[in-house]
Structure 1
C-alpha cells in the first residue's frame, strides 16, 4: 500500500506516493529541491496499482481461475498436463459451447428475416415515391422518412423474433475474459513473470515442474521443440480460413479483418514458444476445441439437434462446398499471377 503525501512549495503543489507512512517520512531541501525517500509519483503508483489489481495472483478473477485449476487437479488427481487439457475442455464445453450454439441460432434467425426486410423496404420505397409525386416531398425529406421507418421496422422485427444482432457477440464477451483469466492464472502458477517491484515470484505450484509429459516434462519451461506453438498457429489459421470460405463474396473490411487475424495467428507462434508450456498447452487445447466446435456446427443434423433453424444458405454438403470455394479462389489467384 502507498500513503499519499502532498508537498506544497512556493510555486506548485505535488502529490507523491510513499512506501512509508506519512508520519515517518522526512523531507529535506538541499539546493532548493525537495527529496522524499521511498516515494514515487502518482502516475507510476496508479499504473502499478492497476496492474496488480488486474493481473497479479491476488486479483479476484485470476485467483478464482487458479482455484478452478487447482480444484480440478485435487478432484481428478490427474497430472498437471492432463488437468489443464481436461479443465479447458470442460470449461469450453459447459460455458462457451452453449454460447456458440446460441450465436449460430441468432445468425440463422437474422438470415431468415432478410426476405421480410427486403419486402418491407420495397413497399416503403414505393410509398415514398408516391409521396414525392402527390405531395411534392423533397429528396431530403424522403430519405429521412425512409431511414426512420426502416429502422423502426427492423427494430420491431428484432423484438418480435428476439434476435438482436448484439446477441451474436455474446460469445466473445464470455470467451475472451475466461481466456485471459486462465492464461494469467497459469502464468502466475508457473512463475513465468516477476512479481511486485521486479522481485522474482517463483513457481507457485512446484508440481508443474514434474507433471508434464512426452517432450515437455516441465510445464514451467517453454516448449523446446515449438511443437505446441506450431499446433496453436495451425489450428488458429484453420479456424480463420474456415470462416473465410463462404459462398458470399467478402467485403473489403471483412478481407482486412481476416488478414489481421491471420497475422495475429502467426505472431502467436513465437509468443507461445517463449512462454511456459502450461500456457501454450492451454492455448492449443482451447484453439483445437474451437476448431472442432466450428466443424461440428456446420453439419445440418447437428444444427437441428441444437435447435438452429434451417436457412436457405445452409448446405447439405458444407465441406464439399467449402472445398469447391477454396479451389475456385486458388484458381482465381493463379490466373492473376
Structure 2
C-alpha cells in the first residue's frame, strides 16, 4: 500500500503540474500537452548530450577489443579515451523515461476525471482529449514514429568499418554488436510496437497525442545526437571518431606486441637454460628463476616441478605458470 500511495501522490503532483501550466499559460489543452512534452524533453536533453558525447568517444575504441584474450583492454581504452563507464551511462534516458511515464499517467488521470476543458480543447479531428481517437490516426502516426526511431537508433549503432586486418596478433574479433543480434533486436522492438497498437488505440486521445509529440521530439533529439545534426551540438562525427581510433589502435597493439616480445625473450632464456642443464633440474631451475628475478630480467610467475608422463611413465620437468597466491607465498618463504 505504501508504494502504491507514493505512486498515486507522484501522479497527483504531475497532474497538478499540468493544471498549473494550463492555467498560467492560458493555452488550450492540446497546446498545453505539447508545451509539457517540450519542457520534459528540454530538461533531460543536457543529460542525453553528456552521455552521447562520451559514448561517441568510446564507441569506436570498443571495436578494438578481443572477445576473450584481451578483456582487460577495455579499461585501457577507457583510460586513454579520457572516458569512463559512468560517463557513458544513458542518464538522459534513465531520467526521461520515468518522467514520461509519470506525465502520461497524469494526463490519463485528467482524461478519466473529465477535467474541465479536456472534452473540448482538443484540435482538428480529436476535439475530445478524454475519448479515444475515432479515426485511429494518432495511434497509427505514433506507432510509425516509434518504428522509425527504433530503426534509426539501431542503424546508428552499426559497427564502423576499421581496416585492422593486418595486425601481428591476428585479426580483430567481430564486433560485440553482431549484425544478427541487431536484426533480432529490431524485429523484437518493432514487433512489440505493432502488438501494443490495439492498447494504444483505446487510450484517451490526449494521452496518445502527448505520446506522439514526445516521439517526434525524440526523433529530433536522435537527429541532433546520433544523426546529421551532431555538428550543431558539438559532438564528434563518424569520420573524426575513426581517425582518432586508428591512432589509438596502433598505440595499443604496439604495447601488446612489445609485451609479447618481452615474454618470448624471457621464455627463450629459460629454454636455453633447460637444454644446457640436466642434473637436478628442478633445484637448478628454481635457482635460475631466483637469479633472473633479482636481475629483473624475468617478470613471468614461472616455477618448475617433476611430473610423470601418463603414457610412458617417465618423469619429466614441467615449467608451469604459478598463480599470484602461490607466487606470493613462495616469495615470502
TM-score (norm: length of structure 2): 0.59
1:278 to 206, 216, 221: 206
Aligned residue-pair number: 223
Greater radius of gyration (CA) = 2
2:48 to 85, 100, 103: 100
1:273-324 deviations in whole A, cap 9, x for unaligned? 1111111011111011111222244555x32332213443779xxxxxxxxx
| CA distance in 2: counterparts of 1:50 and 1:153, whole angstroms | 43
| CA distance in 1: counterparts of 2:141 and 2:20, whole angstroms | 28
Superposed, 1:174-185 pairs within 5 Å as 174-185=95-106
| CA distance in 2: counterparts of 1:313 and 1:252, whole angstroms | 27
The aligned residue for residue 136 of structure 2 is 226
Structure 1 gap ranges (5+): 1-45, 126-142, 192-201, 316-337
Matched, 1:245 2:155: yes
The aligned residue for residue 309 of structure 1 is 236
The aligned residue for residue 53 of structure 1 is 6
| CA distance in 2: counterparts of 1:96 and 1:258, whole angstroms | 25
SS of equivalent residue, structure 1 residue 211: coil
| CA distance in 2: counterparts of 1:241 and 1:114, whole angstroms | 22
Displacement of 1:114: 4.6
Label 1:288 to 1:264 Cα distance change in 2 as closer, same or farther (>3 A).
same
Matched, 1:90 2:17: no
| CA distance in 1: counterparts of 2:89 and 2:213, whole angstroms | 24
| CA distance in 2: counterparts of 1:283 and 1:69, whole angstroms | 15
Matched, 1:69 2:11: no
CA contact (8 A) 1:237 1:265 kept: yes
Superposed, 1:160-309 pairs within 5 Å as 161-164=82-85, 167-191=88-112, 202-203=113-114, 205-246=115-156, 248=159, 250-298=178-226, 300=228, 302-309=229-236
1:114-137 deviations in whole A, cap 9, x for unaligned? 58x66xx8xxx9xxxxxxxxxxxx
CA contact (8 A) 2:40 2:96 kept: no
Displacement of 1:77: 0.5
Displacement of 1:217: 1.3
1:236-274 deviations in whole A, cap 9, x for unaligned? 011111123355374443333222210221133221211
SS of equivalent residue, structure 1 residue 177: helix
| CA distance in 2: counterparts of 1:314 and 1:78, whole angstroms | 45
TM-score (norm: length of structure 1): 0.58
| CA distance in 1: counterparts of 2:231 and 2:119, whole angstroms | 45
| CA distance in 1: counterparts of 2:238 and 2:155, whole angstroms | 18
Label 1:154 to 1:299 Cα distance change in 2 as closer, same or farther (>3 A).
closer
CA contact (8 A) 1:62 1:184 kept: yes
- Stretches (4+) displaced over 4 A: none
The RMSD of aligned alpha carbons is 2.9
Structure 2 gap ranges (5+): 160-176, 243-333
1:215-250 deviations in whole A, cap 9, x for unaligned? 111111111110100011000011111123355374
Label 1:67 to 1:311 Cα distance change in 2 as closer, same or farther (>3 A).
same
Label 1:240 to 1:256 Cα distance change in 2 as closer, same or farther (>3 A).
same
CA contact (8 A) 1:190 1:276 kept: yes
